[in-house]
């Protein structure tokens, strides 16, 4: 079951969903629009190694916007910090963003119950396009669980993205491996 706008508001009031900052105008019939944060991160190495951290550069999006180009993976974050303790959040791109050739995630559209953070976006573009900090970039959809989660994301020992941070998070996949 996907939550409607009234159910999202009720879950926020109950404390089962948190969205900061919350903008009533961003609430849709059955979703909540999230906005592009002010920073992008790009990897500084031409080759990435899944077993090692990769250096990256942080770029602030200027007020006039920033052109994104094909062939580059841009990591971004949502302005919104979200928590979901009783629902499974899914992040999807807005159709208007897709029609500009912007893809906001490579694989990570599903969040977990207990995810408490800003969403990191894995942005790629089909053709050059200018983006702006604060623009609506995606929409969160909340699904009800059939029962409570035994171990929410934030309590999982292997959870890597639990430190609250408004900056785009680089991959921490390398933490899955023992030192070489």
* Tokens, residue 30: 């059955």
Residue whose tokens read 């119950």? 113
pLDDT in tens, 46-82: 998 888 888 999 999 999 999 999 999 999 999 999 9
Q: Which domain holds residue 139?
A: 5-45+54-146
Contact yes or no for 118/162 (Cβ under 8 A): no
pLDDT value of residue 162? 64
pLDDT at position 157, please?
A: 65
As a whole number, the mean pLDDT across the chain is 89
Per the structure, the count of domains in the chain is 1
Peptide bond into 35 cis (omega under 30): no
Is residue 93 assigned to a domain? Answer: yes
* CA distance to 10, 29, 62, 108, 146, per residue, from 6 (Å): 6, 8, 36, 26, 20
Structure confidence at residue 56 (pLDDT): 94
Average pLDDT rounded to a whole number, residues 5-31: 97
pLDDT attached to residue 113: 81
Cβ–Cβ under 8 Å, residues 80 and 138: no
Known catalytic residues are 122
Question: Residue 98 maps to which CATH number?
Answer: 2.70.40.10
Does residue 163 form part of some domain?
A: no
Query: Is residue 22 a part of any domain in this protein?
Result: yes
Q: How many CA atoms lie within 13 A of 118 on its CB side?
A: 22
| Per-residue burial over 63-92, b = 16 or more CB atoms within 10 Å of its CB, e = otherwise | eeeeebeeeeebbbbbbbbbbbbbbbbbbe
Determine, yes or no, domain membership for 130: yes
**Residue 170 within a domain:** no
Cβ contacts of 121 within 8 Å, gap of 6 or more:
36, 74, 75, 76, 77, 78, 91, 104, 105, 137, 138, 168
Q: Is 46 helix (H, G, I), strand (E, B) or coil?
A: coil
Q: What is the dihedral of CA 134, 138, 143, 148, to 10 degrees?
A: -50
Whether 39 maps to a domain, the answer reads yes
* Model confidence pTM above 0.75: yes
Does 122 fall in a domain?
yes
Contact 170, 56 (CB under 8 A): yes
Among residues of the chain, what percentage have pLDDT more than 90?
66
168 domain residue, yes or no: no
Token pair for 179: 């030192």
Provide mean pLDDT across the span 146-160: 68
């Amino acid at each position: 079951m996907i939550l409607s706008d009234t159910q999202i508001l009720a879950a926020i009031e109950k404390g089962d969903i948190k969205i900061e900052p919350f903008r009533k105008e961003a609430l849709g019939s059955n979703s909540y629009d999230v906005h592009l944060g002010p920073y992008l991160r790009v990897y500084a190495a031409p080759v990435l190694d899944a077993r090692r951290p990769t250096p990256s550069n942080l770029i602030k999006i200027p007020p006039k916007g920033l052109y994104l180009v094909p062939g580059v993976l841009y990591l971004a974050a949502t302005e919104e910090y979200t928590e979901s303790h009783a629902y499974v959040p899914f992040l999807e791109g807005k159709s208007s963003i897709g029609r500009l050739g912007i893809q906001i995630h490579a694989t990570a559209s599903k969040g977990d119950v207990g995810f408490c953070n800003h969403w990191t976006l894995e942005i790629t573009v089909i053709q050059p396009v200018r983006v702006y900090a604060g623009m609506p970039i995606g929409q969160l959809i909340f699904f009800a669980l059939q029962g409570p989660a035994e171990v929410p994301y934030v309590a999982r020992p292997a959870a890597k993205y639990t430190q609250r941070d408004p900056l785009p998070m680089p991959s921490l996949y390398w933490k899955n491996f023992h030192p070489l």
